[in-house]
Amino acid sequence: HTFWGIVPAAGVGKRMAADRPKQYLPLAGKTVIEHTLEHLLAAEIWAGVAVAISPEDPYWPELAISRHPLVHTAPGGKERADSVLNALDYLQDRAGEEDWVLVHDAARPCIAAADVHKLIDALKDDAVGGILALPVADTLKRVSDGSISETVDRSAIWRALTPQMFRYGALRDALRDAAAKGSVVTDEASALELQGRRPKIVEGRPDNLKITRPEDLPLAEFYLKQLS
Ligand code: C5P
C-alpha cells in the first residue's frame, strides 16, 4: 500500500475573527499547522504530504516544516473541496489510481499518530475507504424558526472528523463530479456518497477537534499536553 497525505490549509478562518488564518495562530509554542503536520508525519507511513496553501499566504514559507522533504506545497482553492482537488492534481504524476489518500484538516492539530494508524489498519484492504468519526453525545433537535419540531434519533448520527481516507482515482473523480454538478461538499466522504458509495466509519477521539472559534485554542493546548 502507498499512502499520500493532503492537508487543506487555504482557509481564511472567518469564524475565528483573528488577524491571520487560524492555521497560523499560536498554540503551545508553535503554530496550529506545525502541530498538525508534526503529528501526521509522526505516523511515518507517507509517500508525501501535499499541503494546499493560498498563493498570497505570507506565513507558510516562513515555517521550516514547509521545506520538510516529505512536504509539498500545492495551490489552495476557493472552497475546501477545491483545495483538495488542487492537491490531488499536484500529485497526479506521483500517485497511482489505487494509492490511498488521507485528507486531514490543517485546523485539527491534536490528531494522534495512533489514530492515523487505526484508520489505516481498519480500511487499507477496503474497496472504498472511510473516515474517522464520533458518535454524538447530546440529544439532537430539528429546529425551525427558533422552535423544536422533533427529536432526531442520535444513535444513527455520527460527527465526521478527519483524516478521511479514499483511493486517489476515486476521490479525484468524486470531487470533480461534485464540482461539475455544483454540489456543496464539506468533506471528502460526502463527494463519494453522492456517487452512491458507502464510506466506512472508524471511531475517532474527541480530542481531535477542529479549531473553529477562539475558545477552541486553550482546549487544544490542553489536549496537546495530554497527547505528549
Ligand atoms: O473552514 P473549515 O474549518 O471548514 O476549514 C477546514 C479546513 O479546510 C481548514 O484546514 C482550512 O484551512 C481548509 N480550507 C482550504 N481551502 C479553502 C477553505 C478551507 O484549504 N478554500
Site to probe by mutation for ligand 1, drawn from 56, 80, 102, 210 as the one with most ligand atoms within 8 Å of Cβ, is 80
Measured CA to CA, the distance from residue 200 to residue 227 in angstroms comes to 26
Q: What is the pTM of this model?
A: 0.96
Q: In this structure, what C-alpha cell is assigned to residue 8?
A: 487543506
Residue 12: its pLDDT value, please? 82
Q: Which triple of cell numbers denotes residue 224? A: 496537546
Regions of the chain with pLDDT less than 70: none
Angle between helices 168-181 and 80-90 (to 10 degrees): 140
The DSSP annotation for the chain comes to --EEEEEE-----GGGT-SS-GGGSEETTEEHHHHHHHHHHTT--EEEEEEEE-TT-SSGGGSGGGG-TTEEEEE--SSHHHHHHHHHHHTTTTS-TTSEEEE--TT-TT--HHHHHHHHHHHTT-SSEEEEEEE--S-EEEEETTEEEEEE-GGG-EEEEEEEEEEHHHHHHHHHHHHHHT---SSHHHHHHHTT---EEEE--TT-PPP-STTHHHHHHHHHHHH-
Q: How far is the CA of 98 from the centre of ligand 1 (A)?
A: 25
Spell out the domain ranges in the chain.
3-227
| The C-alpha cell that represents 155 in the structure block | 444513535
Residue 139 CB partners (closer than 8 Å, separation 6+) = 151, 154
Quick one: pLDDT at residue 161? 98
pLDDT at 18: 85
Domain 3-227 has CATH 3.40.920.10: no
Pocket lined around ligand 1, Cβ cut-off 6 Å? 8-11, 23, 52, 76-80, 83, 105-107, 210, 212
- Kindly give the distance from the C-alpha atom of residue 170 to the centroid of ligand 1, in angstroms, as a whole number: 21
Omega of the bond prior to 58 within 30 degrees of 0, cis? no
pLDDT confidence of residue 123: 98
Closest CA to 179 of 41, 72, 83, 45: 83
Pairing of strands 46-53, 129-135: unpaired
Q: Which amino acid is at 43?
A: A
